[in-house]
Amino acid sequence: MLGECFDPKADFLIHEHCRPHWSQAGAVVFITFRTTDSIPKGVLERWEREKHDWLRRKRISSAKHWTEVVPMLDSKLQLEFRKNFNRHREAYLDTCQGSCVLARSAIATIVSDALLHFDGQRYTMGDFIVMPNHVHSLCAFASEEMLVKQCDSWLSFSAREINRILANQGKFWQQEPFDHLVGSPDQYDYLRKYIAENGEKANLNANQYLYRRYPK
Protein backbone atom coordinates (compact mmCIF):
# COMPACT_ATOMS: atom_id res chain seq x y z
CA MET A 1 0.00 0.00 0.00
CA LEU A 2 0.86 3.65 -0.38
CA GLY A 3 0.84 4.07 3.42
CA GLU A 4 -0.97 2.68 6.45
CA CYS A 5 -4.67 2.32 7.19
CA PHE A 6 -6.17 4.70 9.73
CA ASP A 7 -5.74 3.41 13.27
CA PRO A 8 -8.32 4.97 15.65
CA LYS A 9 -6.25 3.80 18.63
CA ALA A 10 -3.19 5.78 17.53
CA ASP A 11 -2.66 9.56 17.66
CA PHE A 12 -4.54 11.60 15.09
CA LEU A 13 -5.49 15.23 14.56
CA ILE A 14 -8.86 16.82 13.78
CA HIS A 15 -8.57 20.25 12.18
CA GLU A 16 -11.88 22.13 12.37
CA HIS A 17 -12.81 24.80 9.84
CA CYS A 18 -15.85 24.70 7.53
CA ARG A 19 -15.72 20.92 8.00
CA PRO A 20 -13.56 18.59 10.14
CA HIS A 21 -10.34 17.25 8.59
CA TRP A 22 -8.99 14.08 10.18
CA SER A 23 -5.31 13.31 9.68
CA GLN A 24 -2.84 10.74 10.98
CA ALA A 25 0.86 10.44 10.27
CA GLY A 26 1.51 7.81 7.61
CA ALA A 27 -2.17 7.02 7.02
CA VAL A 28 -3.57 7.10 3.49
CA VAL A 29 -6.13 9.82 2.86
CA PHE A 30 -8.55 10.16 -0.06
CA ILE A 31 -8.77 13.82 -1.09
CA THR A 32 -11.22 15.52 -3.43
CA PHE A 33 -11.06 19.16 -4.43
CA ARG A 34 -13.29 20.90 -6.94
CA THR A 35 -13.60 24.13 -8.87
CA THR A 36 -15.84 26.87 -7.50
CA ASP A 37 -18.33 26.57 -10.37
CA SER A 38 -18.64 22.77 -10.28
CA ILE A 39 -21.71 22.66 -7.99
CA PRO A 40 -24.32 25.47 -8.10
CA LYS A 41 -25.35 27.18 -4.88
CA GLY A 42 -28.90 25.89 -5.17
CA VAL A 43 -27.72 22.26 -5.27
CA LEU A 44 -25.52 22.78 -2.21
CA GLU A 45 -28.42 24.36 -0.31
CA ARG A 46 -30.66 21.40 -1.21
CA TRP A 47 -28.04 18.96 0.07
CA GLU A 48 -27.84 20.91 3.33
CA ARG A 49 -31.59 20.48 3.82
CA GLU A 50 -31.39 16.79 2.91
CA LYS A 51 -28.64 16.17 5.46
CA HIS A 52 -30.72 17.65 8.27
CA ASP A 53 -33.78 15.75 7.02
CA TRP A 54 -31.72 12.54 7.15
CA LEU A 55 -30.87 13.21 10.81
CA ARG A 56 -34.52 13.87 11.63
CA ARG A 57 -35.58 10.62 9.95
CA LYS A 58 -33.07 8.83 12.17
CA ARG A 59 -34.73 10.59 15.12
CA ILE A 60 -31.56 12.49 15.89
CA SER A 61 -32.76 15.85 17.14
CA SER A 62 -30.28 18.68 17.53
CA ALA A 63 -30.13 22.44 17.11
CA LYS A 64 -26.51 22.12 15.97
CA HIS A 65 -25.32 21.99 12.37
CA TRP A 66 -24.89 18.51 10.88
CA THR A 67 -21.08 18.97 10.78
CA GLU A 68 -21.12 19.02 14.58
CA VAL A 69 -23.67 16.23 15.00
CA VAL A 70 -22.37 13.55 12.61
CA PRO A 71 -18.94 13.08 14.27
CA MET A 72 -20.78 12.28 17.53
CA LEU A 73 -22.85 9.46 16.01
CA ASP A 74 -21.87 5.81 16.31
CA SER A 75 -19.57 4.54 13.60
CA LYS A 76 -22.31 2.68 11.70
CA LEU A 77 -24.49 5.77 11.36
CA GLN A 78 -21.51 7.92 10.41
CA LEU A 79 -20.61 5.50 7.65
CA GLU A 80 -24.20 5.42 6.36
CA PHE A 81 -24.39 9.22 6.34
CA ARG A 82 -21.07 9.73 4.55
CA LYS A 83 -21.70 7.01 1.98
CA ASN A 84 -25.09 8.46 1.14
CA PHE A 85 -24.04 12.08 0.72
CA ASN A 86 -20.58 11.46 -0.68
CA ARG A 87 -22.29 9.45 -3.41
CA HIS A 88 -24.49 12.47 -4.21
CA ARG A 89 -21.48 14.76 -4.48
CA GLU A 90 -19.36 12.43 -6.59
CA ALA A 91 -22.23 11.65 -8.97
CA TYR A 92 -22.96 15.34 -9.47
CA LEU A 93 -19.31 16.22 -10.07
CA ASP A 94 -19.16 13.57 -12.77
CA THR A 95 -21.85 15.42 -14.73
CA CYS A 96 -19.06 17.97 -15.39
CA GLN A 97 -20.85 21.23 -14.61
CA GLY A 98 -19.15 24.61 -14.83
CA SER A 99 -16.44 25.85 -17.18
CA CYS A 100 -14.50 22.53 -16.89
CA VAL A 101 -11.15 24.10 -17.82
CA LEU A 102 -9.30 21.16 -16.22
CA ALA A 103 -10.25 19.18 -19.33
CA ARG A 104 -7.57 21.19 -21.14
CA SER A 105 -4.29 19.31 -21.15
CA ALA A 106 -2.16 22.34 -20.27
CA ILE A 107 -4.37 23.22 -17.28
CA ALA A 108 -4.55 19.62 -16.02
CA THR A 109 -0.75 19.41 -16.22
CA ILE A 110 -0.42 22.41 -13.88
CA VAL A 111 -2.43 20.48 -11.27
CA SER A 112 -0.54 17.23 -11.88
CA ASP A 113 2.84 18.97 -11.58
CA ALA A 114 1.75 20.63 -8.33
CA LEU A 115 0.63 17.31 -6.83
CA LEU A 116 3.95 15.66 -7.70
CA HIS A 117 6.27 18.56 -6.91
CA PHE A 118 7.10 17.51 -3.33
CA ASP A 119 6.27 13.82 -3.76
CA GLY A 120 8.71 11.79 -1.67
CA GLN A 121 9.64 14.82 0.46
CA ARG A 122 6.59 16.28 2.19
CA TYR A 123 4.27 13.38 1.32
CA THR A 124 3.88 10.25 -0.78
CA MET A 125 1.49 10.76 -3.67
CA GLY A 126 -0.51 7.80 -4.88
CA ASP A 127 -3.09 7.46 -7.63
CA PHE A 128 -4.82 10.62 -8.78
CA ILE A 129 -7.07 11.83 -11.57
CA VAL A 130 -7.64 15.37 -12.79
CA MET A 131 -11.23 15.51 -14.05
CA PRO A 132 -12.75 18.51 -15.91
CA ASN A 133 -13.99 20.19 -12.72
CA HIS A 134 -12.48 18.22 -9.81
CA VAL A 135 -9.53 16.14 -8.64
CA HIS A 136 -9.34 12.87 -6.68
CA SER A 137 -6.10 11.68 -5.08
CA LEU A 138 -4.70 9.20 -2.58
CA CYS A 139 -1.85 10.50 -0.47
CA ALA A 140 0.02 9.80 2.77
CA PHE A 141 1.61 12.51 4.90
CA ALA A 142 4.50 12.21 7.34
CA SER A 143 2.78 14.32 10.00
CA GLU A 144 -0.78 15.12 11.06
CA GLU A 145 -0.28 18.85 10.48
CA MET A 146 0.85 18.49 6.86
CA LEU A 147 -2.55 17.53 5.37
CA VAL A 148 -4.19 20.96 5.64
CA LYS A 149 -0.98 22.88 4.95
CA GLN A 150 -0.19 20.92 1.80
CA CYS A 151 -3.75 21.06 0.45
CA ASP A 152 -3.68 24.85 0.90
CA SER A 153 -0.35 24.94 -0.94
CA TRP A 154 -1.61 22.82 -3.86
CA LEU A 155 -4.75 24.90 -4.25
CA SER A 156 -3.13 28.34 -3.96
CA PHE A 157 -0.21 27.57 -6.30
CA SER A 158 -2.27 25.85 -8.99
CA ALA A 159 -5.03 28.50 -8.83
CA ARG A 160 -2.48 31.28 -9.32
CA GLU A 161 -0.92 29.53 -12.34
CA ILE A 162 -4.27 28.62 -13.89
CA ASN A 163 -5.67 32.13 -13.46
CA ARG A 164 -2.51 33.55 -15.03
CA ILE A 165 -2.93 31.37 -18.13
CA LEU A 166 -6.66 32.08 -18.37
CA ALA A 167 -6.20 35.79 -17.60
CA ASN A 168 -8.70 35.42 -14.78
CA GLN A 169 -8.90 36.70 -11.23
CA GLY A 170 -10.60 35.48 -8.06
CA LYS A 171 -11.23 32.06 -6.59
CA PHE A 172 -10.64 29.04 -8.78
CA TRP A 173 -11.02 26.20 -6.26
CA GLN A 174 -13.66 25.66 -3.62
CA GLN A 175 -11.99 26.70 -0.37
CA GLU A 176 -11.74 23.37 1.45
CA PRO A 177 -11.19 19.92 -0.03
CA PHE A 178 -13.08 16.85 1.12
CA ASP A 179 -10.81 14.29 2.75
CA HIS A 180 -11.34 10.85 4.25
CA LEU A 181 -8.84 8.59 6.01
CA VAL A 182 -8.70 5.13 4.44
CA GLY A 183 -9.75 2.52 7.00
CA SER A 184 -8.90 -0.82 5.36
CA PRO A 185 -6.98 -2.43 2.47
CA ASP A 186 -10.31 -3.23 0.81
CA GLN A 187 -11.31 0.42 0.91
CA TYR A 188 -7.91 1.40 -0.46
CA ASP A 189 -8.35 -1.01 -3.39
CA TYR A 190 -11.89 0.27 -3.99
CA LEU A 191 -10.69 3.89 -4.12
CA ARG A 192 -7.86 3.04 -6.50
CA LYS A 193 -10.40 1.39 -8.79
CA TYR A 194 -12.75 4.33 -8.43
CA ILE A 195 -10.02 6.78 -9.46
CA ALA A 196 -8.89 4.60 -12.36
CA GLU A 197 -12.42 4.30 -13.75
CA ASN A 198 -13.68 7.81 -12.97
CA GLY A 199 -13.06 9.28 -16.42
CA GLU A 200 -14.64 6.40 -18.28
CA LYS A 201 -17.68 6.27 -15.97
CA ALA A 202 -18.22 9.99 -16.59
CA ASN A 203 -18.29 9.21 -20.34
CA LEU A 204 -15.20 11.30 -21.04
CA ASN A 205 -12.70 10.82 -23.82
CA ALA A 206 -9.16 9.94 -22.73
CA ASN A 207 -7.94 13.43 -23.63
CA GLN A 208 -10.45 15.07 -21.25
CA TYR A 209 -8.85 13.86 -18.02
CA LEU A 210 -5.38 13.12 -16.64
CA TYR A 211 -4.88 9.87 -14.73
CA ARG A 212 -1.75 8.85 -12.82
CA ARG A 213 -1.39 5.38 -11.34
CA TYR A 214 0.85 4.56 -8.36
CA PRO A 215 3.42 3.16 -8.62
CA LYS A 216 4.38 4.29 -12.09
Residue by residue, pLDDT tens for the chain (216 residues) are 899 998 888 888 877 555 567 789 999 999 999 999 999 888 989 988 998 999 989 988 778 888 778 878 887 888 888 888 888 888 999 999 999 999 999 999 999 999 999 999 999 999 999 999 999 999 999 898 899 899 999 999 999 999 999 999 889 999 878 898 898 999 999 999 999 999 999 999 999 999 999 986
Nearest to 130 by CA among 173, 82, 187: 173
Q: Which ranges of 15-145 would DSSP assign to H, the alpha helix?
A: 41-57, 66-69, 75-93, 105-117
- Domains annotated for the chain, with CATH where assigned, are 1-38+100-216 (3.30.70.1290), 39-96 (no CATH)
| CA distance linking residue 63 with residue 147, whole number of Å | 30
| CA distance linking residue 4 with residue 140, whole number of Å | 8
* 8-state DSSP, 207: G
Return the pLDDT at 88: 84
Burial status of residue 163 (CB atoms within 10 A of its CB: 0-12, 13-18, 19 or more): middle
Return the pLDDT at 166: 95
